[in-house]
Amino acid sequence: MPEHRLTALSPLGGDAPKVDSFEVFTICENPDLALASLASRVGKGAAFAKAAKKHFGFEMPEPGKTAQKSPYAAIWVGPEQWLIEAPFSDHEDIAVELKHAFDDSASVTEQTDGWARFDVEGPVTGAVFERLCALNVGGMASNSASRTAIEHLGCIVICREAGIRYSVLCPRSGAASLHHALITAAKSAV
Amino acid sequence: MSQINRIAGGQIDRAQSLKFSFDGKSFEGHPGDTLASALLANGVRLMGRGFKYHRPRGPLTAGSEEPNALVELRSGARQEPNTRATTTELFDGLDARSQNRWPSLAFDAMAVNDRLSRFLAAGFYYKTFMWPKAFWEKLYEPIIRRAAGLGSLTGQPDPDEYDKGFLHTDLLIIGAGPAGLAAALTAGRAGAQVILADEEFAFGGRLNSETYAVGDGSGSDWAAKAVAELADLPNVRLMIRTTVIGAFDHGIYGALERVSDHLATPKPGKPRQILWRIYSKRCLLCAGATERPIAFENNDRPGIMLAGALRSYANRWAALPGKTIAVFTNNDNGLRTATDLIAKGVNIAAVIDCRNETPDVSGTEVFRGAQVIDTAGRLGLASVTVQLSNGQQKTIACDALGVSGGWNPNVHLTCHQRGRPKWDEALAAFVPDGCPPGMSVAGAAMGRLSTAGALSSGATAAVTALADIGIPAQAVDLPPAEDAPINLKPFWHVQHGAGRAWLDQQNDVTVKDVKLSHQEGYRSVEHLKRYTTLGMATDQGKTSNLGGLAIMAELTGKSIPETGTTIYRPPYTPVPIAAFAGRSAGKHFRPTRLTPSHKWATEQGAVFVEVGMWLRAQWFPKPGETHWRQSVDREVLATRKSVGICDVTTLGKIDVQGTDAAEFLNRVYANAFGKLAVGKVRYGLMLREDGMVMDDGTTARLAEDHFITTTTTANAVGVYRHMEFCRQCLWPDLDVQIISTTEAWAQFSVAGPNARKLLQKIVDAEHDISNEAFPYMACGEITVCGGLRARLFRISFSGELAYEIAVPTRYGDGLIRALVEAGKEFDAVVYGTEALGVMRIEKGHAAGNELNGTTSALNLGMGAMVSKKKDSIGSTLSEREGMNQEDALMLVGFRPVDPSQSFAAGSHFINKNAVANAQNDQGYMTSVAYSPNLGHTIGLGLLKNGGARKGEILRAVNPLKNIEIDVEVVSAHFVDPEGERLRA
């Protein structure tokens, strides 16, 4: 990537991502992933699946699931639609890269800055999520994901490791509100 | 400070003393006490005054069904009215005050109402306060307001925090008495996910109040052992102090957990209460039963309470309401109050039993076939008058009376989805008749009133409920327990006497009121309720509903089941409004969305405005500016003179791709998009099905199969939702994929004669944005600031030479700083939404005020844009005759004839010599602004046949403020009407 002159801000408006630590729970703002929406086109199923296997090294996950093989992860977000994650440092041009790989078998849209991501970790994540959303987070298996609403924000909760590590994606403009909700729930439940 | 009515035993911790105050007086109690039990132990029976007649009252019960002992708990901002003393856990420093009395509980001047009771019977307000009419507003209403209501609010904001919570489980067990505990043990040992909730601060239900043996020990011992086992099971969640308030759809239950109400103050960061939404596959209602009284004359004196409550106070709380106690009962259960108290050495003056076959009770006299017909004792019971079976009357001195008319199963939650219970003749009570899906009932709540019955039905019901969801379970071994029938003889009210016999003590409804309601022609039980207000207080008539409808049944000659019950509704007990709000209070009522330039704008001291959930900069005051007009006028003039920058990220952006993307847009937009060239942008008009304008925006074609559609800020979500509906449901065969990119791209408008020059300092040199290479309505993917990917659109809202430039949002802050820096040489300004609005009005662009849901394309002067060469949503219905009349409203401009005058949006247009009324209405003003370019107020508005009336003088009438301004009809395009600046 060429070295342009503009500096980036994190979703919470800081030069560096915010980290909040409680005794048994941490919340980390994480802007270091590039995101793209990948939606298969009508009648191109076979070509799409082939390109996916080739480029990612895995099959696209079923509803409610994620799939990963470094450096990519795929999250099912709708019929024939996935959100693709890859490290920002090497994949800032993820949309261009994926369009090249999938060609006319898919519609690709950059979503990197459409979302703010908070990684939460600790053995009490279940108790914290109980104060946040109707999604049965405690019952999620590793490598699963689901949309849900947290304090009126449409979010995606990803279970990286059941009971321990999760990511919450929210619309970027609402990052401060979601962060406030996470902190408040942590203070309340932990 | 001695606890004169404290006896031995009980489940209180005498090693610790708790200080509390009631009506300014200090007392002592112990952990395990309620406020009511501690007051009784201290010899205080008088705890309140009746709502209407202000009669002295004491606790009728020992639970959440309490109608009388309502106090104001705490003071200052945390004060809460109508708190039941019977369920308030005592804590050190508790401070409570009685309600509804002035000047004091012992002497209440309002008790004069009791002498006026003839005039204050049920429904009196339907017959009074009507004459003279003029007295209503100034005299009657203020008086009624002062007299009405129970308890008071401080008016201070609630300082406590409340959480919402969400739980998922296999089996929710409501109530932790014998049935619930047996069920929880069964389900817990089977490995199911179980939630056991109880409204009380100790599990065990009636086991904590009765002296029956359960197995080898007491009921409360068995309960404690069960709870200890359950607490150790990882699959069981015990929720104490948690009332399940309602059974909602789809197996969802609401529950209010009182986390901190038993503490002096909540711990920092912790909520006072949590309102849980429990998603449960199955639910077992083990809510027990509530005792009901018998109505007789003056049955409401302090010291008169339910017989079971008396037992609770004596057995669980080691407190008595008096020293000489009598019992009035129609069943064997009531006799236990006498036997339990006698065993504790308490003086039982008499047992008055309306049945004839009552066995002897050793230690006291039993009067069979007898009734209590009256009582005496103004501030507390002093004696009862009994009518014996031989007709003679006898006065018995006593300072407490336990009354038992039987037990009502707590069926409420089984009826929360419009169910009704059924009558059980043997119990003379209503029992559940069907339940919401997934719910079953056990124990006293289903009419199994004995301990053994509750235990076994709880265990069995748990097995059945779990089998239903594929979890095998075995009923746990249960200890032996009493299984006696209660031998009840139905008896609702004593017929003797002309005085008042109380049914609903909280709303002061008597047997006479029920009779009056019947006399006035109210036959339905729902009318009885509302005419008399029986059952409408905060206790929901838990101790009075059945008594009322039994009397109504007698009067109408119908049976009780034929009379039926009123509808049961959540919440089961009162819930603070703050608990429903949870964290959505104050600033956090809803999320706030911040634009990419928010940080920069804050540094500039911008004034922000809420636009939906967004905060947008409204204007940027500079030092020395004291009025917003100064800032806004400056921003407008500077933009039109040189160049201005505005954050327009909030407008919706929808990425539309696919081989059928163009066809899709052709169908959702009224105008044509099929042939839009790659690299071009077009204004788009979107109609609703009914032909009215829904939204407008621009759509840019980046490639054959790739478009970016924009929407107004307000309609971003609505349009996206609409497009998804079209894609998924209307035309699922089209190959089109859409996703919102509103958030993903920071977007700024750069407008004014020097806009291009400014941008040429930002856009990388290899991208030619000269007028020839990048004409009006061009678009493209470019790079800026040394290689950052960006998008450029040459579109104008202001009418100036203008562009919108977009970069990924994380760089939005960097971009605006770069634009401001680069703009210094052009005296560039950053402008806010006010200046944005002024300029679009000057240009004559329709926006939200014009796209108000009642305007068509024709009204907006865009009738020709609805293409008839292809079908699109709204096209057909936009052709309706009524929408295409010759005098249809048309969007035109207005200026004041006298330029020093201004007018308001919303003014209606009336012809010069016509009367200002609805018949003569010519249309209305939609948008108004002061134009610094023209030096006077300008407006846009919808005028009948407006296009043909340019030059006409009308009146703009504002009837709300009685203002009329003469206005001239002009073109809506005040600035650059030929569009020369746009194409520069």
B786 → closest Cβ in A2, A9, A109 = A2
Contacts of A148 in chain B (CB under 8 A): none
Which of B 392-411 lie inside 8 A of A, CB atoms?
none
> B42-82 pLDDT, tens per residue?
999 999 999 889 999 999 999 999 999 999 999 999 999 99
Shortest CA distance to B866 belongs to which of B880, B876, B852?
B876
**Which band of pLDDT confidence, cut at 50, 70 and 90, is reported for residue A2?**
low
Give the pair of three-digit tokens for residue B750. 């750069």
Position B300 scores a pLDDT of 97
Contacts of A131 in chain B (CB under 8 A): 163-166, 274
What mean pLDDT value characterizes chain B? 96
Distances (CA, A) of B740 to A155, B569, B737: 14, 42, 11
Q: What are phi and psi of B918, to 5 degrees?
A: -60, -35
Contact A173 B595 (CB under 8 A): yes
Sign of torsion over alpha carbons B593, B599, B602, B607: negative
- The structure tokens 């739980």 sit at B167
Above pLDDT 90, what percent of chain A? 96
Ranges of beta strands (E only) in chain A are: 19-22, 25-29, 33-40, 66-69, 72-78, 81-87, 106-110, 115-121, 144-150, 153-161, 165-171
Q: Tell me the DSSP string of B297-360.
A: BTTTSTTEEEHHHHHHHHHTT-B-S-SEEEEEESSHHHHHHHHHHHHTT-EEEEEEESSS-PPP
Q: B224 and B215 in contact (C-beta within 8 Å)?
A: no
> B195-212 pLDDT, tens per residue?
999 999 999 999 999 999
Contacts of A109 in chain B (CB under 8 A): 655, 657, 739, 741, 744
3-state secondary structure of B606: coil
Contacts of B590 in chain A (CB under 8 A): 152
Shortest CA distance to B66 belongs to which of B441, B469, B505, B484?
B505
> B246-273 pLDDT, tens per residue?
999 999 999 999 999 999 999 999 999 9
Answer with the residue of higher pLDDT: B613 or B121: B613
Position A1 scores a pLDDT of 52
Contacts of residue B896, defined as CB under 8 A and 6 or more positions apart, other chains included, come to B902, B903, B936, B937, B965, B966, B967, B968
Contact A3 B786 (CB under 8 A): yes
B269 → closest Cβ in A10, A42, A188 = A188
> B821-841 pLDDT, tens per residue?
999 999 999 999 999 999 999
Position B109 scores a pLDDT of 79
The verdict on B783 touching A (C-beta cutoff 8 Å) is: yes
Angle, CA B89 vertex, CA B86 and CA B92 arms, to 5°: 130
> B636-646 pLDDT, tens per residue?
999 999 999 99
Question: CB neighbours (10 Å) of residue B932?
Answer: 19
Question: What mean pLDDT comes out for the span B295-317?
Answer: 98
Q: End-to-end distance of chain B based on CA atoms, in angstroms?
A: 92
Specify the CATH class of A19-31+114-189 in words. alpha beta
Residue of A nearest to B659 (CA): A41
Contact B737 A41 (CB under 8 A): yes
What is the H or E stretch that residue B846 is in? none
Above pLDDT 70, what percent of chain B? 100
Position A175 scores a pLDDT of 98
Q: Tally C-beta pairs within 8 A across A and B.
A: 160
Contact B743 A115 (CB under 8 A): yes
Return d(Cα B937, Cα B942) in angstroms, integer: 17
B787 → closest Cβ in A3, A37, A188 = A3
Which of B 694-713 lie inside 8 A of A, CB atoms?
705-706
Position B470 scores a pLDDT of 98
Which of B 262-291 lie inside 8 A of A, CB atoms?
269-271, 274, 277, 279
Position B101 scores a pLDDT of 83
Contacts of B277 in chain A (CB under 8 A): 134
Alpha helices in B51-198 (DSSP H): 112-115, 135, 141-147, 178-189
Position B103 scores a pLDDT of 81
Q: A60 and A51 in contact (C-beta within 8 Å)?
A: no
Q: Does the pLDDT of residue B126 top 90, yes or no?
A: no
Position B184 scores a pLDDT of 98
Return d(Cα B558, Cα B880) in angstroms, integer: 59
Q: B27 and B39 in contact (C-beta within 8 Å)?
A: yes
Query: Per-domain residue ranges for chain A?
Result: 19-31+114-189, 34-112
> B856-905 pLDDT, tens per residue?
999 999 999 999 999 999 999 999 999 999 999 999 999 999 999 999 99
Contact A113 B734 (CB under 8 A): no
**Which band of pLDDT confidence, cut at 50, 70 and 90, is reported for residue B497?**
confident
Question: CB neighbours (10 Å) of residue B417?
Answer: 16
Position B114 scores a pLDDT of 87
Q: Does the pLDDT of residue B543 top 90, yes or no?
A: yes
Contact A6 B815 (CB under 8 A): yes
Residue of B nearest to A112 (CA): B744
**Residue of B280, B598, B764, B809 to mutate when probing chain A, most A C-beta within 10 A:** B809
Contact A177 B705 (CB under 8 A): no
Return d(Cα B223, Cα B216) in angstroms, integer: 13
Does the global pTM surpass 0.80?
Answer: yes
Contact B814 A9 (CB under 8 A): yes
Please state at what angle helix B178-189 crosses helix B219-232, rounded to 10 degrees. Answer: 30
Residue of A nearest to B598 (CA): A13
Give the bridge partners for B438, in sequence order: none
Q: How many CA atoms lie within 13 A of B710 on its CB side?
A: 21
Contacts of A9 in chain B (CB under 8 A): 596, 599, 810, 812-814
Chain B nearest C-alpha distance from A36 (Å): 10
A107 → closest Cβ in B269, B592, B658 = B658
Position B139 scores a pLDDT of 87
> B564-603 pLDDT, tens per residue?
999 999 999 999 999 999 999 998 999 999 999 999 999 9
Q: Does the pLDDT of residue B974 top 70, yes or no?
A: yes
Contact B814 A6 (CB under 8 A): yes
CATH architecture, range A34-112: 2-Layer Sandwich (3.30)
Q: Does the pLDDT of residue B507 top 70, yes or no?
A: yes
Return d(Cα A29, Cα A179) in angstroms, integer: 9
Residue of B nearest to A39 (CA): B737
The verdict on B785 touching A (C-beta cutoff 8 Å) is: yes
Above pLDDT 90, what percent of chain B? 91
Q: Does the pLDDT of residue B217 top 60, yes or no?
A: yes
